[in-house]
Amino acid sequence: MAQDHSLVREPMQNILEVIRTLRPELRKSDRKVAEVVLDDPRLILNDTVAELAARAEVSQPTVLRFCSAIGCSGYPDFKLRLAQSLALGMPATHSELQGSDTPDKVVEKIFDYTLTSLDWARYHLDKQAVSAAIDLLAAAKRIEFFGFGASGIVARDGQQKFPLFGVPCGAEVDFHQQIMVASMLQPGDVCVLISNTGTTRSLVDVARTAREKGAHVLGIVGSDQAPLRPYCDVSLVVETLENTSLYTPMTSRIATLVIIDVLSTAVALRRDGAHQQAFIEMKQRLNEARFK
């Protein structure tokens, strides 16, 4: 398998996630070093080359070759990037849930996993695509959010936030209703499709229908290879470290909720003073409805 050299050319990338991603493609001996590092990165943080070689049962030149294979200029550079990665939280590979995990361990792993995955998503986010998405939403006459399952929850979150900024919104999680709504869209409307995998066929049908009606389509997906992307005018790739084939989406849903917050806040900041005042008054009325 060909190594993805784009990963090793990014010096600010979380080195633990670089190792996780490249591990299947490394030489067998290099992979032994990778497995030792990923098994307990804090343990080897202060190791010398010789000590890490002994842990992995490989030669010292193999450790140096491993450092080069993952994009480090040498062992000191590897140690520095390892320390930086640990400061962000333990890697997703170290946070894999086990049946024997105690509740305390589950808390620790899920928080570590989420923090690391959010940082990964932020680092890989295309800022130009974010700006284009904000432009679409800020100019929208109407916004309709579409999603299924966990993505449907995110769609409803978007539908809750954007009306606060003067945009009529809807959220559809039933396919038949989605097609009906998409068929009624008009030029100036925006259709927001949310799917971590980007492989849901019915959402492609929704995208086609919306574009036929002249609406713009914004896709929020979890991979740049998502089949949904070619049907979108703008697509945001919110890449996380999650394997949704085993567990229900957790970090991918949280990362997408953060993106909804980013988009809605950016749209709100573009509104004029009159709208800002109306928003303040709305918040005051909500506060009055609460117990003091």
pLDDT tens digits, residue range 250-283?
Answer: 788 999 999 999 999 999 888 877 777 777 777 7
CA separation for the pair 227, 113 (Å, rounded): 27
What b/e sequence results for 236-258 when a residue is b if at least 16 CB atoms lie within 10 Å of its CB, and e otherwise? bbbbbbbebeeeebbbbbbbbbe
Eight-state DSSP code of residue 11: T
Which residues, 6+ apart, have CB-to-CB distance to 180 below 8 Å? none
Residue type, 44: I
> Is 226 in a helix, a strand, or coil?
coil
CA separation for the pair 172, 152 (Å, rounded): 8
Eight-state DSSP code of residue 17: H
Q: What average pLDDT does this structure show over 61-78?
A: 94
Task: Report pLDDT for 202.
Answer: 94
- Biggest CA–CA distance in the chain, Å, is 69
CA separation for the pair 168, 209 (Å, rounded): 20
Domain extent listing, the chain: 15-94, 121-289
Task: Report pLDDT for 6.
Answer: 44
Take residue 226 and report the two structure tokens written for it. 């998502």
10-36 pLDDT, tens digit each: 545 778 888 988 999 999 999 999 999
Eight-state DSSP code of residue 94: G
The CATH superfamily assigned to 121-289 is: Glucose-6-phosphate isomerase like protein; domain 1 (3.40.50.10490)
Tell me the CATH number for domain 15-94.
Answer: 1.10.10.10
Eight-state DSSP code of residue 197: S
pLDDT bucket at 218, cuts 50 / 70 / 90: very high
Q: Which of 60, 71, 4, 72 is nearest to 29 (CA)?
A: 60
**Backbone angles phi and psi of 257, in degrees to 5:** -60, -40
Give the residue with greater pLDDT, 42 vs 64. Answer: 64
CA separation for the pair 242, 259 (Å, rounded): 17
- H-type alpha helices, 89-248: 103-124, 127-138, 149-161, 175-183, 201-212
